Amino acid sequence: MERIGFVGLGRMGRPMATNLVRKGFDLAAYDINLAVVRALAEAGARPANGVPGLVESSDVIVTMLPSGREVEAVAAGPDGIFAHARPGQLVMDMSTIEPRVTDRLAAEAARRGLGFVDAPVGRLASHADRGESLFMVGASDADFARVLPLLQAMGTTIHHCGPAGSGMRTKLVNNLLAVASCQLNAEALALSQRFGLDLAKTLEVIHGTTATNGQLKLNWPNKVLAGDTTPGFTIDLAHKDLSLIIAAAQAETMALPMVSAAREAFAMARTAGHGANDFSTIVDWFCGLTATQKPRLRRSD
């Protein structure tokens, strides 16, 4: 079994790494937060002596970091992964970052004789806790086969989307719909409350027509409509992804007017102090903005 190095033990990375340890993988871990490294070590991981030590003791290096800036620094910085890597190792980035950063890292990895995979994560942190994540993977066939056992240990749904870079671009297309639809849902439900309509009956109608969508049908009834604003995926992260989507589209000389409008709404919600809340609570912010009652389902609904 290959030795795994895991960099980035945040809300998504820590449960993913923990599931690898639980499934019997030999895993070294590193994060700037040493407390989470110690906690993972108690579960059976090996604490790494920084990125250089992690690279030295690993065959496959996984990164799960906040943004392209951190990924590029960890991978291509002067004391990063590439500086200490040896031919035959493989780097798998699972962060959600700018596709052109992914392209640069994949090209540099190939130049150094390294494999490279981008495998951004779908679903929520709660799914990562249970080992039920979804992965959109960009990789050669050989590299995909090499990382497949890791992905199977961390998730239940794995899509090989094409060569390196395809996973990241697929993630952005998916999140365009998942996040932008939340703003449409917010406006629609706010209008229903302003009209004085019964929320349960309104949703029953919507879910029986082509107007329905996954956020409104599957996520919102268990989150904001049930009064649960604890973050599974925050407004801050939703805004980040919309910004990545718009930047990636601009790089292709393509305008996305509806996504741009949704990003501005999420930016306003962040400014109003809602950034750390679940992204379904965009409806609560909008209702506050328009002096409208927040939509909530009764338990019997």
Mean pLDDT within 253-264: 97
Contacts 24+ apart (CB under 8 A), 161-164: 161/136, 161/137, 162/138, 163/138, 163/139, 164/102, 164/103, 164/106, 164/116, 164/117, 164/118, 164/138, 164/139, 164/140
At 301 the pLDDT is: 54
Is the model's pLDDT at 134 over the cut of 80?
yes
Listed in sequence order, the residues at least 6 apart from 209 whose beta carbon sits closer than 8 Å to its beta carbon are none
CA distance 301 to 298: 5
Q: Which pLDDT tens digit goes with each residue over 182-237?
A: 999 999 999 999 999 999 999 999 999 999 999 999 999 999 999 999 998 999 99
Average pLDDT score over the chain: 96
Kindly indicate the confidence band of residue 124, based on its pLDDT and cuts at 50, 70 and 90: confident
Q: Which pLDDT tens digit goes with each residue over 18-75?
A: 999 999 999 999 999 999 999 999 999 999 999 999 999 999 999 999 999 999 999 9
Percent of the chain clearing pLDDT 70 (strictly above):
99
At 298 the pLDDT is: 87
Minimum mean pLDDT range among 90-94, 147-151, 295-299: 295-299
Kindly indicate the confidence band of residue 299, based on its pLDDT and cuts at 50, 70 and 90: confident
Catalytic residue among 23, 171, 217, 294: 171
Burial class (CB in 10 A: 0-12, 13-18, 19+), 141: exposed
At 300 the pLDDT is: 62
Phi, psi of 116 (to 5 degrees): -145, 135
171 annotated active-site: yes
* Reported pTM: 0.93
CA distance 81 to 61: 8
Q: Which domains does the chain have, with CATH numbers?
A: 4-163 (3.40.50.720), 170-289 (1.10.1040.10)
Is the model's pLDDT at 166 over the cut of 90?
yes
CA distance 76 to 169: 21
Encoded tokens for 29: 């871990």
Mean pLDDT within 127-135: 95
